Amino acid sequence: MSDGQQLRIPGPTPLPPEVVAALSKPMINHRSQEFRQLLASVSERLQRVIGTANDVIVLTASGTGGLEAAVANTIEPGDAVLSLCSGYFGERFAQIAERFGAKVAYIRSEPGQPIDPAPVAEAAKKQRFTAVLATHSETSTGVLNDLPAISQALHAAPERPLLLVDGVSSLGAAPLGLADEEYDIAITASQKAWMAPPGLAMLAVSERAFKRAEVCRSPRLYFDVVAARKSASRGETPWTPAETLLYGLDAALDLILLEGVADVFARHRRLSARLRQGLRDLGLSVLSAEAWASPTVTAAFLPAGLAYAQFQAHLEAAYGIQLAGGQGALKDKVFRIGHMGYIADEDIEYLLQSIAGTLQHFAISRGGN
């Protein structure tokens, strides 16, 4: 599963050679039967991997564009929105809703902790919200939020709000865990577990969300999911599609389905558990507890006195590995490892050996000071 690429940031992730090859296919007429087949192949198989019968709309955008599309199609100025923030990406989703004029109420968790569903139920009971924004895998902390528990908490509401889910760094590697009627828009992006380059946002959209989009007065043209659905029913996109990226994603879907969706999910669980154990064996503390650890990204505390820049510089110089630093309040406190998509057991072992070597290097040089 691996060819020695050591890009271990939480996206973009390494590309399998089959995907790289697909990216060199010639352009085709996007109003042709050949394109219709490509779009149908991608959308139907995205549904299978996400585990939904809801329509999956593919937009030319990064994950943030997908989040913005979800908001633009459902939220109007003045709407009450409940934002469940367990980190940096939860805050970004909320920021988009604020930019669209929503009145945003926040439920936040401490870094490394998931959202507690009890206050969500309380809030939903007290106030009518148009939408609830939730993050599945919070990439800044390595926490996987319990979406079924959050969805359950929303049953306390007299009228269930729309549930918009940021699944950017989870889908393709983990099940959404929600039935089609329990969520309204789930967003993911090509450069994460999907083993494709950045540039495609994929949105699974419920009937309820389409109905809401039909009447939602927030302005949008490029990101109009109703227009996208109408075009998709003819096998097309409203605007010129990113054909190259669709070829890449199509080839990646071949690989995911060849391995088997359940096996892909199991591999992510196995590799992430091994990584966390290995980090602990090296004396490092993982930010998230096992019970809610993300299968795609892990944040661990830097050893005292070791700056992230030094740590990363040595990992890259000595082992060719690139990790990511902490974000927001966790900047310079944690380092983050992306382990999604095109990654195998031996990559995790190499990563752990490299981190061990790097810790040893600094222990030696610190000892010498």
Ligand X SMILES: Cc1ncc(COP(=O)(O)O)c(C=O)c1O
Task: Measure the CA dihedral 266/267/271/277, to 10°.
Answer: 20
Given a contact cutoff of 8 angstroms between Cβ atoms, the answer to whether 168 and 190 are in contact is: no
Q: How far apart are CA 224 and CA 235, in angstroms?
A: 16
Q: How far apart are CA 363 and CA 252, in angstroms?
A: 41
Whether the link from the prior residue into 12 is cis, omega within 30° of 0, is: yes
Q: Within positions 298 to 357, which residues make up the interface with ligand X, using CB under 6 A?
A: none
Binding-site member from 54, 64, 74, 188 for ligand X (CB under 6 A): 64
Binding-site member from 13, 52, 73, 135 for ligand X (CB under 6 A): 135
- 151 near ligand X (CB under 6 A): no
227 residue type, one letter: A
Chain position whose Cβ is nearest to ligand X:
63
Q: What is the largest CA-CA distance in the chain?
A: 69
- 248 near ligand X (CB under 6 A): no
Binding-site member from 16, 63, 172, 325 for ligand X (CB under 6 A): 63
Q: Which range in 60-68, 95-103, 118-126, 264-272 contacts ligand X by CB under 6 A? A: 60-68
3-class secondary-structure state, position 73: coil
Q: Within positions 184 to 223, which residues make up the interface with ligand X, using CB under 6 A?
A: 189
- 35 near ligand X (CB under 6 A): no
Q: Which range in 50-58, 116-124, 166-174, 241-249 contacts ligand X by CB under 6 A? A: 166-174
Given a contact cutoff of 8 angstroms between Cβ atoms, the answer to whether 141 and 86 are in contact is: yes
Nearer to ligand X (CB atom), residue 133 or residue 225 = 133
225 residue type, one letter: V
Binding-site member from 54, 169, 188, 312 for ligand X (CB under 6 A): 169
> Residue 149: how many CA atoms within 13 Å on its side-chain side?
14
Binding-site member from 139, 145, 288, 298 for ligand X (CB under 6 A): 139
Given a contact cutoff of 8 angstroms between Cβ atoms, the answer to whether 201 and 188 are in contact is: yes
Q: In the bound complex, what is the minimum distance in angstroms from residue 143's beta carbon to ligand X?
A: 10
Q: How far apart are CA 164 and CA 184, in angstroms?
A: 6
Nearer to ligand X (CB atom), residue 169 or residue 354 = 169
Q: In the bound complex, what is the minimum distance in angstroms from residue 198's beta carbon to ligand X?
A: 6
Q: Residue 81 phi/psi, 5° resolution? A: -130, 140
Q: How far apart are CA 309 and CA 72, in angstroms?
A: 38
- 166 near ligand X (CB under 6 A): yes
- 83 near ligand X (CB under 6 A): no
- Quick note: the x/- pattern for ligand X over 9-28, rule CB under 6 A, is -xx-----------------
- 168 near ligand X (CB under 6 A): yes
Given a contact cutoff of 8 angstroms between Cβ atoms, the answer to whether 339 and 151 are in contact is: no
Q: In the bound complex, what is the minimum distance in angstroms from residue 335's beta carbon to ligand X?
A: 15
Q: Which range in 59-67, 115-123, 246-254, 322-330 contacts ligand X by CB under 6 A? A: 59-67
Binding-site member from 59, 71, 85, 89 for ligand X (CB under 6 A): 89
Q: How far apart are CA 35 and CA 29, in angstroms?
A: 7
Residue numbers of the site for ligand X (CB under 6 A)? 10-11, 62-64, 89, 135, 139, 166, 168-169, 189
